Structure 1
Amino acid sequence: MATDEGSRFPIRILLFTVLYLSVTLAVDRSNFKTCDQSSFCKRQRGLMHGSSVYRAVLDSLDVTETRARLQLMNDANQVPLMLEVYGLEGNMTRFKINELNPLRPRYEVPDVLVGDPPVLRLTVTGKDEESVELSLGTNQHKLIITAKPFRMDLLVGRDLVLSVNSRGLLHFEHQRKRMDSFSDKVGSTFVSMWDKMKSLFSSDSQRDTTTIADGEKEEEKANLETDEQMEKAEEPEKEKSAEDETGMWEETFKTHTDSKPNGPTSIGLDFSLPGFENVYGIPEHADDLKLKSTEGGDPYRLYNLDVFQYELYNPMALYGSVPLLLAHNIHHTMGIFWLNAAETWVDISSNTAGKTLFGKMLDYMHGGGETPQTDVRWMSESGIIDVFLLLGPSAKDVFKQYGSLTGTQALPPLFSIGYHQCRWNYNDEEDVRSVDAGFDEHDLPYDVIWLDIEHADGKRYFTWDPNKFSTPKNMLQQLNDKKRRMVTIVDPHIKIDNSYRIHNEIRSRNFYVKTKDGNDYEGWCWPGSAGYPDFTNPEMRSWWSSMFSYDQYEGSMSNLFVWNDMNEPSVFNGPEVTMHKDAVHMDGWEHRDIHNLYGLYVQQATAEGQIQRSGGHERPFVLSRAFFAGSQRYGAIWTGDNAAEWDHLKISVPMCLSLGLVGISFCGADIGGFFKNPSPELLVRWYQMGAYQPFFRAHAHLDTTRREPWLFGEENKQLIRSALRERYALLPYWYTLFYHAYRTGEPVMRPLWVEYPGDVTTFAIDDQFLLGSAILAHPVSEQAARGVQVYLPGKGVVWYDVHTHQKHHAPQTMYVSVTLSSIPVYQRGGSIVPRKERIRRNSECALIDPFTLYVALSPEGFAEGDLFIDDGHSFNFEKKNEFLHRRFTFSGHVLTSSSADPRGHFDTPAWVERVIILGSAKPTSVSVRLSDGKERPLDFHFDAETSVLTIRKPAVKIAEDWSITLR
C-alpha cells in the first residue's frame, strides 16, 4: 500500500491496522451495535404489545378535500400528537404522525420523493363515539380509525388488508427539556404526582372501571411514591439520572460517547398484515430473499455502515438502506414505505413462524388453523412517522406505485451493462495498457477498466498520481480509440492538506460537516486525516458537481466515469466505523437525522456533475456503495466487500433480488469475490453468475493475486469467454429490460413469484431468478456440482433450454446435470428475445450489428416480445424522441414487427439477419412481406429432432414494419 507524503507514523499504523483487519478477519461483530446496545431500540422493543397509551381524539377531526387531521393523545403524559391522512392517486395511502407542539421542528426527509404525490378527495362515511370511517378517494378503500386505544384498519371492499397499531406499539418520544437541576427534579416530581392524581379521577382514564376503594389505595400508593421521589430529588447529584442510564441524553458505545442535546426522539409503530406470511425487501442484508421472523434475535437493521468482509445470513446492517417492505400472498401484493433516514430497526413476527408445512396442514384439517398473519414493527431514532401504504394489488402495481414516489431506475448508458474490469489497483498507465491489450489478445470482450484509490495523488481525489498516471488524457484517448471507457474512484472523504485545492475550497466555502462544537468534523480514512463535505447542503452539491467539468477535473475526458465508495460515510475511527451522530449538518440537523441519506446525496451530486459537464446531453454512469430510497435515479449499486467463497457467490442472488424489489435494478456483486483468492472453479462459476446479473464487474483487493481471465489456463479462459459472450449476445434484451425498468419501475432481475404470484412454490426460491418475464436463469453456485434442481413455473407453460433448445413443460422441478461449462438458462414459451450474435470487442462496436430474433412458441403457437433502441448514451430518447420501440408478435403462423411507441424515431441501418423459432412445425414455405406490400421467399432450415426452424437472412430493417409468414 502506498504511503502519503507528510503522513505521520501513527496514521500509517492506523491505516495498516484497518487494512490488515479487513483482509485477515471476518467482520468483528463487536464493532457494530445490537439492538440491546442501541438505547432507543432497546427502549422501543421493551414495550409490551397490547398496552397502548394512545387514543384518537375524534372531536378534533378536521377533514378537507385533500387530507384528514386528527389529534392523538398520550394518556400517560398528556402529550398530543397530530395524525394526518391522505388518499393518493394510484391506489396508495399516506399518513404522518408528528408532535402537535414540538420544542423544535423534527426532521422530515427531503429530496427522496420526486414530487408531491397527487391526492384524492377524502370524505367521512361514518362516525360514532368510538370510531370514524374515511373513504380514501374511492368507495372501495376505507380507513377506520378507532379511538381507544388508537388503531387504524385499512379495508379494500370488505377485506381487511392492514392494521396500524393493532398491537399497541406506537411509541413517540416527544421532545423535552433535560432535567439537570434540583428545581427541575422537584418540579418533575410534582408534575408526576399531578399526572397520577389526574389518572385516578379522569373520566377517560384507562382505570375507569376501578372502584372507589381501589382508587383510594392507588392514591395512597402514589403519595408514598411521591415522598420517595422527593427524598431522592434532595440527595446530592452524584449519579447519572435514570434517563442517562437508559441512553436518552447520552450514550456510550465502546470508546465513543454520543451526546444527545435534543434528548430522546425515537419513534415506533406496528403494522399487522392478515393473510400474509411472506415478506421481502428492506435491503441491504446478506440474507435470504424471504425475510425471517426476528423473534428471539435482533431486528433487521437499516443503518448504512462500512462492514469489512460481512457475514452472511443475519440481519446486521450493511452499506445501504431502503425502508420498503413488500408483503405477498396468492391474491395480493402490497408495500409499506417508511420514509425515515435515521437509524432504523425492523422487527418481523408471524403466527406461522416455525410451523412446518405439515403442521399448517394439520391445523387446517383439524379446523383449528388461524389466518396467517405477519406483524411488522418499525423503530427509528429520530424524525417523524411518514408512511406510504402501497396497495397493489399486484406486485407490478406496487413497483409502479413506489416508482411514482421515489423515481425509477435511470436508463443506463449501453456500455455500462457490458463487462467491467477492476481491481485495487491497476498500478500505472502501462498496467492499464497491458490489461486492455490482453483482452484483445485473448479475444475477450469488455467495455470499462477501473482505477481504485491508488491512481490519485496521495488519495487526493480529482487528481492523478504524477508518477504513475502522468498523462491521463493519453491513456483515456487510447481507450476511446477502441470505444472503451474508464471509471475512477472519487470518495467523499477529503484529505486535509493545505496544498490540496479541493480541501481548501470546501473549507473556504464552509462546506464541511461540523462537530457539535461548530468546528469542521475530521475523521480518519484512506488519506489519513480527512474532512467530510456536507452533501445535505444544495450549494455544496452544486459545487461538487462543478468539479467534474473538464477544466476542473484535470485529465478527464468524456469517456471517464465515476465510482463513489466509502460514502456511508466511512470513518475509520468513528463509532461503528461511521460519522458521529451528534455531528451537525446544514440548518443544524444532526447526523443522526440524515445518516442514511448521505450516500444518496453523494451519488446524486456526482451524477449531476457528469450531466452538467456535457451540457445536459450525456447520461451519467456512477457506481455507489451506500444508497437509500431514490438512489435508483442516479446509477448503479454493488453489494460491497464480499469474499471469494461459494456462499458469497450464492448470496449475490437474493441480495440483488431484494434490491430490485425496492426499485434498484442496477445491482451486481464483485466477480470472484473482493477478499481472498478464488479457485479457478469458483471464478468460472462467478463469471457465469455475473453474466446474468445486471451489473457485471470483476473486482479484487490489492493483496489478492491478479485474476485477469487469461491467467487461469486455456480451458478456464474459454469458459469465461463463453460467459462473456453470452452476456454480450443478450445486450439488446438487457437494454430493453432497463428501458422498461425506467418506464414502469419493474425490476430487471426479479424473483419468480413476481411473474407467477399464485404459485406458492416460488415464494421462497432465491437460487434462481427471472430476467424480465422471458429468461429464467439458475447459474451453478455449489462447489463440484454435478447437477442442480431447477424449478420451472407456470401451469401450461413451456420452457426451452437456450443452449440445446430442448422443451420442458411446467410446472415441474427437474434435476439438470451440469459440467463446468453449464449455465442452466431457459426461455419461456410465448416470448421473443432479440440477440446480437456477432462477436465484437465491446458494446459500441456492435451498435449497428444485425439482430437474431429467438421466437419461443407457447403450446398455443403464440409469442411476443419487444426491443428498445436509441443511441445508447444521450438523453435524446427523452428530449427528442430519438428512439425505436419495436413490438414483435408471432400468431397464426405469422411473425410481425410493428411500432410499440409511434412517438419514437431513430435512424439505424441495423437489420434482422436470422429468425430462430423454437417449438415450430416444419413449414412448406416461408416468405417476408414489407410495408410496401412486396413479398419474397426466404431460405430456411428445419431441425426435426429439436423442432427448431431457422429462417436465414430475412434482411429486413429493424426499424421498419414487416411480416414473415410460415405456410
Structure 2
Amino acid sequence: MRALTLLGAVALLLVDQSSAFKAHDFKTCSQSGFCRRGRALSARAKEAKSSWVSPYSVDPSSVHISLDHAVFTAAVKSSLYPEINFGLEVRIQDDGVARVRMDEVGGLRKRYNEAASWALIAEPALSKTIKWTTGKKDIRAVYGDKKDIEVVVAYEPLRVTLLRNGKEQIVLNGRGLLHMEHFRNKIEPPTTTEEPEPVEGEGAEGEKVEGEAEGQAVLKVESENPRAWFEGKEEDAFWEETFLQWTDSKPKGPESLSLDITFPNHGSVYGIPQHATRIALPSTEGENPTFTDPYRLYNADVFEYLASSPVSLYGSIPLMHAHSTDSTVAVFHVVGSETWIDVSHPSDRSTETHWISESGILDTFLLPGPTAEEVFKQYARLTGTAVLPAQWSLGYHQCRWNYISSEDVRTVQKRFDEEDMPVDVFWLDIEHAADHKYFMWNEKTFPDPIEMTNDVAANGRKMVVIVDPHLKRVSDYPAYKSASELGILVKPKSGEGEYEGWCWPGSSSWTDFFNPAAWDWWKSMFKIQPGDKWSWTKSTTDIHIWNDMNEPSVFNGPEITMPKDNIHYGGWEHRDIHNINGMLFSNLTYQAVAERTDPPTRPFVLTRAFYAGSQRFGAMWTGDNLGTWEHMAVNVKMVLANGLGGLSFAGSDVGGFFGNPEPEMLVRWYQVGAFAPFFRAHAHIDTKRREPFLLEDPYKGIVKDTLRLRYTMLPIWYTAFRETTVTGMPVLRPQFIMFPKDKAGFDMDDQYYIGSTGLLVKPITEKGATQTTVHLAEDQVYYDYFNNYAHRGASKGKDITVAAALNQIPLLIRGGSILPTRERPRRASSLMKDDPFTLRVALNKAGSARGELYLDDGVTYDHTKGDFIWREFVAEKASKKGLKIESRDLGKAKPAEAVDGVALASYNPANSFAKSVEDVRVEKIVVVGLATKPTNVKIEDGKELVWEYTPGVAAGDKKGGTASVLTIKDPKTLIAKDWAIVIQ
C-alpha cells in the first residue's frame, strides 16, 4: 500500500513538472526567516536615518601588518555583543584587487569558509609593493601604477572603501547593515506556566522567553535593551522554519550574513545571474521599484519561469558589475548559501545594494577596474577563463525530450541530410536510459547504441546523452550500489545512512561530490574500455554529456530541491553549499569525459546549475523556457547576463522548451539561436515534433539559410572564443562594454556585439516585425552584412532603422573590421577543415580595417603546445591612393597570449597543425567601402589578380547608401602564410 502511495505521489510530481510556474512552490523574502531579518534590519536603518550607526568596529590596538605588507588583520567587536569576537583580514593582490574577509573567532561553531576554494583557480598572488599606513581613525593603502587606487578601512564604525583618484568606487558597510549573526545556544521555552527566572549570560538583560505558535523560542526585548534597535525585538526563525509542509531544522541556529555594498558614483549595475530580467538590474527598493522582492540566488528547478522576475533560477554567480561614464568596477561576494540582494538607485549616479546570505563568512573581492576589460581580466584571474570548446560544439545541436529509438535518431539524421541542412550533434534525453538508470540503455528502444552512435559519427557528427545526478535506489543498478558501498552519498539531517528523495527514477539518492572519495569513482563510471570494474561499454568517445537537474532537483523536497539540513562531507549542511553543488557535478563530469581518451580530447558538457567558476567546465542553457515572444526576448538578455558572469558559452532552447510555437516565432527563434554562443533546439515531450525540416516553405528555406549562415561564420565564433579564453571578456558584448561613455547604451540589452569581430546583432523578438531600430554609438560607418548598405553613425550616437522582414536578420559590420568566413555548404563542421576562406574587408571612415582568425584542430589539446594558426589581417593605406591588405602571424608575435591562458615557451609557424592545412587558401576577398574604383589589384611584388568592382550608390539624404564592393577572385593566397595584396 505504501509503494502504491509513493508511486502515486511520484506520478503527480511528474505531472506537476509539466505544468506552469507556481509561485507558491518557491519562497519570497517574507517567507524566508533570514531574509526577513535582513530586510527588517535595513528598514530600521532607514527609519533611524542619520542616527543609525553600525555596531561593528575595529580594535586599533589589534591591527597587525604582515611582513610583506600585503595583508593586515585586526580584531572586530560588536557593541551589541562585546563577548563575541570577529576577525578582519584585508589583502591587496598584485593586480590591485582587494579581498576583505571577516569571520567569527572562537565561536561555538565554525562558519562555512570553503566557498572560495571551489570558485577560485588558485590562491591569488599578493602585491609585493603595497604599504599600509596606520592612523588614529583608519588604516589605508595607496597603490597602482599611477598611485590612483586607495583602500581605506575606517575603525569606528567599520567601513571599507575603495577609491580611485579620491573618488569613492565601492563602499562596504557604508549604510551600517553589516551583521554577522554569531553562533549561540538555544534558550528553550519554559516547561511550566510559572514566571521564568531571569536567564544568566547572553540574552538575559531584561528579557523573557515565551512560546511561539511554531514552538520555537521567541525573545521579547524590553525597550532598554540596546540590541533591539539593531536586531529587532523578537527572534525570527532562529532554530526552525516551516515552509508549506516542510520543516527546516536549524541545529546551528542563526548564522546569516548581511552586508551593504554601495557604488556611490555608479548608476548602473549588472550581473548576479541567473535571473529573467534586464541586464541593467532594475530596482527592488526605493521609489517605484520594478520588483518588490530582492533578487534571489538559490539554484532551483523553476520550470516555465516568468519572463520578468527576480526569482532564483538554475544557477548563481555572486558577481556584480557597476558602471558609469568614468569607470567600471565589480564585487565578487563569495558565498555558497542562499542569498538575497536588494538593489536601489537613490540617484541616477549611484547604486545601493544589500546582500543577505543564510550562512558563510564574509569573503568579498573588490575589483577596481577601471574599465570593463580590466574587470573581466581581474575576475578571470580569480575564477578562470572559459574553456576553449571543441569546435564542433559551436555548430547546431538537435534535441528533444525524447528521440524515442535508435531508428528515430537515424531517421532524423537522414532527413537533415535530405534537406541539406547542417547539424553537428544529436541529443538523447532521459528516456534513453532503462528506468532512468543512467549509463544503462533502454534495450527495447536503443538496442544498438554503439552502432547508432557510429552511424552518426560516420557523417562527422557527435551525440550527447543526459546523465543526471540522482541515482535510482535499487540493488541491480551498479552506479547506486557502488556509491552506497563507498559511503559517498548525501546523508539526511541525522548524519546517518543515505538521504532518500524522489526524482525521475522514483526513490533516489544523490552523490556527495564534496567528498573526495566520490571523484575517482565518478570518473570511473564513464570509462568505456572493457575490463574496468565498472565500464560504460555501450558507449563511445563520440558520446558527450548533458548534466541536468543538478541544482539538485528533488521532486518531493522543499522548493523542489534538497532539504537544507541534509549533511555533506565534512559535516557541512546543504544550506552552506547549495549553490556550489551543481558546479561540482559538471566539473567531475567534464574531467570524466576528458579522461576517456589518451591523450585526452576536449569534452563537451552542458550544465543547468552553475556557480562562479563553472565557465571552466563547458556550456549552460537557460532552462525550461516557454515558446513565447516574451521568453525569446528575455533569453537574449539572460545569455548576455551569463556572459557578464564569466559564463559565455550560453544559449536558450530554440523554439522554447514548452509549447508549440507558430512558424514565424520558430523562424525568429532560430535567428536568435544562430547568434548565441550555444545553439540548440529542444522541446518538451508533449510538444509536436518541430525539427526544421518539418516546416513548410518559405519558413523551412529561411531556417535552412540561418543554419548555413551559422556554419559560414564558425571561424568568427571560434576566434571569439579564443579571445575569451585569454582575456575573460565575454563572447557576446552588450553596448555598455563596447561604448562605456555612451549613456544611451547603459540599459541596452536587445543588441550586442560578437567578441572583437565588429559584428553587431539586433535579434528580432517581436511578432510581425518588418523593421527595427539599431543604436549606433559612434561616428562610424556600419555595413549591412547581406547587402552592404552603409549606415552612417554620429559622434553623439544615432538610432537608425533597418529592414527586418522574416527572412532578414539585422546584422551589421562595424567599419574597420575584417571577417573570415567559410562559404561552402557542409552538413557538419568537421567536414569544413580543408575548405577555403573568404575575407570580408569592411573599411572604416579612415579607409582601414583589421581582423583575426584563430584555428587549431578543434578537438585535442595540442593547441596548448603551440599547434595552431593565429593570423592578423590588416588593411591600411599603402600610398596616397593605394590600399594594402596583409596577413600576419600573430602566433609568432604574441605566443604567450595564444589560447587558454597558457604561456607557450616557443611557437613554430610550421607546427604540425599548420602543416596539416598548409594548402588551405583564401578563395575570395571582398572589400567594402573603397572610395574609388581601383586601377589594378595584385599580389605585392607579384602578379595581377582577377577582380571586379561595383560602385556604391549614395542615398539621397547623404546619410547612407549602398557601399562600393571590390571582389578579388581566388587570389590563391594561403591562410597559414604571410602575404600582401596591393590595391591601386
Does TM, normalized by the shorter one, top 0.5?
A: yes
Matched, 1:925 2:925: no
Tell me the equivalent position of 2:505. Answer: 527
Tell me the equivalent position of 1:507. Answer: 484
1:394 is aligned, of 371, 374, 382, to: 371
Listed one character per residue, the Cα deviations across residues 156-189 of structure 1 (whole Å, up to 9, x for unaligned) are: 2322212111100000011122222769998973
Listed one character per residue, the Cα deviations across residues 514-552 of structure 1 (whole Å, up to 9, x for unaligned) are: 001112011100000100000111221221112111131
Listed one character per residue, the Cα deviations across residues 813-841 of structure 1 (whole Å, up to 9, x for unaligned) are: 11223211010100110111100000000
Equivalent residue runs for 1:137-152 within 5 Å: 139-152=147-160
1:53 is aligned, of 40, 52, 55, to: 55
Check the 8 A contact 2:712/2:822 in 1, yes or no.
yes
CA distance in 1, matches of 2:644, 2:891: 27
Tell me the equivalent position of 2:174. Answer: 166
Equivalent residue runs for 1:554-953 within 5 Å: 554-773=537-756, 774-794=758-778, 796-810=779-793, 811-878=797-864, 880-892=865-877, 893-902=883-892, 903=907, 905=911, 906-907=914-915, 908=917, 909-920=919-930, 921-929=932-940, 935-945=942-952, 946-953=963-970
Tell me the equivalent position of 1:365. Answer: none
1:332 is aligned, of 327, 335, 338, to: 327
Cα shift at 1:634: 0.2
Q: 1:118 to 1:837 in 2, by over 3 A?
A: same
Equivalent residue runs for 1:286-435 within 5 Å: 286-295=276-285, 297-352=292-347, 372-435=349-412
Tell me the equivalent position of 1:547. Answer: 525
Check the 8 A contact 1:306/1:578 in 2, yes or no.
yes
CA distance in 2, matches of 1:511, 1:83: 35
CA distance in 1, matches of 2:923, 2:247: 68
Tell me the equivalent position of 2:900. Answer: none
Equivalent residue runs for 1:459-498 within 5 Å: 459-498=436-475
2:264 is aligned, of 274, 296, 303, to: 274
Q: 1:378 to 1:494 in 2, by over 3 A?
A: same
1:20 is aligned, of 2, 12, 15, to: 15
Check the 8 A contact 2:96/2:144 in 1, yes or no.
no
- What's the secondary structure of 2:199's corresponding residue? helix
Check the 8 A contact 2:522/2:589 in 1, yes or no.
yes
- What's the secondary structure of 1:901's corresponding residue? helix
Equivalent residue runs for 1:202-213 within 5 Å: none
Matched, 1:964 2:984: no
Tell me the equivalent position of 1:44. Answer: 38
Tell me the equivalent position of 1:71. Answer: 75
- What's the secondary structure of 1:800's corresponding residue? strand
Q: 1:279 to 1:605 in 2, by over 3 A?
A: same
CA distance in 2, matches of 1:301, 1:383: 16
Listed one character per residue, the Cα deviations across residues 404-456 of structure 1 (whole Å, up to 9, x for unaligned) are: 10001110001100000000000101100000000000110000000000001
Taking structure 2 as the reference length, what is the TM-score of the superposition? 0.89
Cα shift at 1:102: 2.3
- What's the secondary structure of 2:53's corresponding residue? coil
The aligned amino acid for 1:922 is K
CA distance in 1, matches of 2:138, 2:404: 69
- What's the secondary structure of 1:488's corresponding residue? strand
Tell me the equivalent position of 1:93. Answer: 98
- What's the secondary structure of 2:392's corresponding residue? helix
Check the 8 A contact 1:35/1:299 in 2, yes or no.
yes
Check the 8 A contact 1:413/1:873 in 2, yes or no.
yes
The aligned amino acid for 1:818 is A
Structure 1 gap ranges (5+) = 1-5, 197-224, 354-371
The aligned amino acid for 1:769 is Y
Tell me the equivalent position of 2:903. Answer: none
The aligned amino acid for 2:925 is V
Tell me the equivalent position of 2:121. Answer: 114
Q: 1:142 to 1:24 in 2, by over 3 A?
A: closer
CA distance in 1, matches of 2:143, 2:805: 57
- What's the secondary structure of 2:610's corresponding residue? coil
Cα shift at 1:790: 1.2
Q: 1:450 to 1:52 in 2, by over 3 A?
A: same
CA distance in 2, matches of 1:422, 1:432: 10
Deviates more, 1:114-123 or 1:667-676: 114-123
CA distance in 2, matches of 1:474, 1:240: 61
1:240 is aligned, of 216, 227, 231, to: 216
**Percentage of matched positions with identical amino acids:** 41
CA distance in 2, matches of 1:189, 1:265: 22
Taking structure 1 as the reference length, what is the TM-score of the superposition? 0.91
Check the 8 A contact 2:169/2:266 in 1, yes or no.
no
Listed one character per residue, the Cα deviations across residues 37-88 of structure 1 (whole Å, up to 9, x for unaligned) are: 1101111111133331111111110011231001111001112211100001
Listed one character per residue, the Cα deviations across residues 788-817 of structure 1 (whole Å, up to 9, x for unaligned) are: 1111222x2111000010111113211223
Check the 8 A contact 2:168/2:265 in 1, yes or no.
no
CA distance in 2, matches of 1:861, 1:54: 61
Cα shift at 1:116: 0.8
The aligned amino acid for 1:314 is S
CA distance in 1, matches of 2:169, 2:704: 50
The aligned amino acid for 1:961 is D
Listed one character per residue, the Cα deviations across residues 113-144 of structure 1 (whole Å, up to 9, x for unaligned) are: 00011111476654443222234577432222
Check the 8 A contact 2:85/2:107 in 1, yes or no.
no
Aligned residues: 903
Listed one character per residue, the Cα deviations across residues 333-370 of structure 1 (whole Å, up to 9, x for unaligned) are: 011000011001111111127xxxxxxxxxxxxxxxxx
- What's the secondary structure of 1:351's corresponding residue? strand
CA distance in 2, matches of 1:123, 1:686: 52
Check the 8 A contact 2:472/2:506 in 1, yes or no.
yes
Check the 8 A contact 2:300/2:553 in 1, yes or no.
yes
Check the 8 A contact 1:286/1:655 in 2, yes or no.
yes
Tell me the equivalent position of 2:972. Answer: 955
Tell me the equivalent position of 1:212. Answer: none
Equivalent residue runs for 1:112-261 within 5 Å: 112-121=119-128, 126-135=133-142, 139-180=147-188, 189-191=199-201, 225=206, 229=208, 240-242=216-218, 246-261=236-251
Q: 1:845 to 1:180 in 2, by over 3 A?
A: same
Q: 1:895 to 1:713 in 2, by over 3 A?
A: same
CA distance in 1, matches of 2:183, 2:466: 41
Tell me the equivalent position of 1:368. Answer: none
Check the 8 A contact 2:189/2:217 in 1, yes or no.
no
Cα shift at 1:927: 0.8
CA distance in 2, matches of 1:334, 1:546: 43
Tell me the equivalent position of 1:456. Answer: 433
Check the 8 A contact 1:121/1:136 in 2, yes or no.
no
The aligned amino acid for 1:827 is I
Cα shift at 1:603: 0.3
The aligned amino acid for 1:959 is A
